Amino acid sequence: MAEDLILTGLNGKQLEAVKTTEGYVRVVAGAGSGKTKALAHRYAYIVEYLGIDPANILCVTFTNKAAGEMKKRVVSLLGQGYDTGLIATYHGFCVRVLREDIHRFQYPRQFIILDEEDQKAILREIYDEMGMRLENRTFNSLLNRIGLYKINLEYVHLLTDVESRIVVEETDTLEQQVIKRYLLKQRKVFGLDFDDLINFTLVLFYDFAEVLQKWQQKLHYVQVDEFQDSSSRQIELIDLVTRRNRNLFVVGDPDQTIYEWRGAKPEYFVDFNLHYPGCETIILDENYRSTPEILDLGNALIKHNQLRVDKDMFTRNPSGIKVIHYHGKSEADEVKWITDRISYLVEERQASLNDIAILYRSNFLSRYIEQGLINEGIDYTIYGGFKFFQRKEIKDALAYLRLISAGDDLAFLRVINTPRRGMGPKKLKALRDFAEAERQSYLETMQENRDSEFVSVKARNLLDLVDKYQTSYHEWPISELTKEVLEESGYMAALRQDGDQERLDNLSELMNAIVAYERTNEDEADLDDYLQSIALYTDYEKEANHASIKLMTIHTAKGLEFPYVFLISFNEGILPNARSLEHGKKRALEEERRLVYVAITRAMKEFCMTETEGVNPNGSSKIPSRFIFEIKENLYDRIGVIEESFYEESLSQIEYINATVLGEAPADGFQIDDQVEHPVFGKGVITEVDARSRTYVVKFEGMEIQKPISFDFKRMTKLKGG
Active site residues: 35-36, 225-226, 256, 602
- Tell me which DSSP letter residue 29 carries: E
Burial class of residue 210, CB neighbours in 10 A (0-12, 13-18, 19+) = exposed
Strands 356-360 and 562-567: parallel
Helix or strand (DSSP H, E) at 413: helix 409-415
- Does residue 191 sit in helix, strand or coil? strand
Give the number of other CB atoms < 10 A from CB of residue 581.
20
78-85 CB contacts, 8 Å cutoff, 24+ apart = 78/2, 78/44, 78/47, 78/48, 79/2, 82/47, 82/54, 83/54, 83/55, 84/54, 85/55
Phi and psi torsions of 54, nearest 5°: -55, -25
Amino acid at position 51, single letter: G
Distance of CA 221 to the CA centre of its chain: 32
> Which residue intervals of 230-358 are DSSP H helices?
232-241, 266-270, 272-275, 292-302, 331-347
> Does the N-terminal peptide bond of residue 576 adopt cis geometry, omega within 30 degrees of 0?
yes
Strands 280-284 and 24-29: parallel
Asked whether 248 and 24 are in contact (CB, 8 A), the reply is yes
Q: What does 152-184 look like in DSSP terms, one character per residue?
A: STTHHHHHH-TT------TTS-HHHHHHHHHHH
CA atoms within 13 A on the CB side of 717: 6
- Does residue 501 sit in helix, strand or coil? helix
CA–CA dist 637, 611 (Å, integer) = 14
Helix or strand (DSSP H, E) at 142: helix 139-149
**Which residues lie below 8 Å from residue 244, measured CB to CB, with a gap of 6+?**
213, 216, 217
SS3 content of the chain, % helix, strand, coil (to 5): 50, 15, 35
